[in-house]
Structure 1
């Protein structure tokens, strides 16, 4: 699933794109992009 999120969201949209997850804090893709490898390591 992380590959789909990366290819369909992070690889397509700019860093200043806001998202509203419905849980946790709202954020931008640019703020979360550096965490992708950490998410993969956790098995997300």
Structure 2
């Protein structure tokens, strides 16, 4: 998670990501979920 936040989530909210599972999304749509992911142990 630290690496994701340090390298990916420093980009702007409009950056599109293709996660390899589920639909494509943007960093802005995913940013609010960072703490939830950490709480899950990711």
TM over 0.5: yes
Structure 1's unaligned 5+ residue stretches are none
TM-score by length of 1: 0.89
TM-score by length of 2: 0.93
Structure 2's unaligned 5+ residue stretches are none
Task: Answer 1 or 2: which has greater helix percent.
Answer: 1
Structure 1 residue ranges, 4+ long, deviating more than 6 angstroms after superposition: none
Aligned residue pairs, count: 42
Please report the RMSD computed on the Cα atoms of aligned residues, expressed in angstroms: 0.6
Q: Which has the higher contact order (CA 8 A, sep 6+)?
A: 1
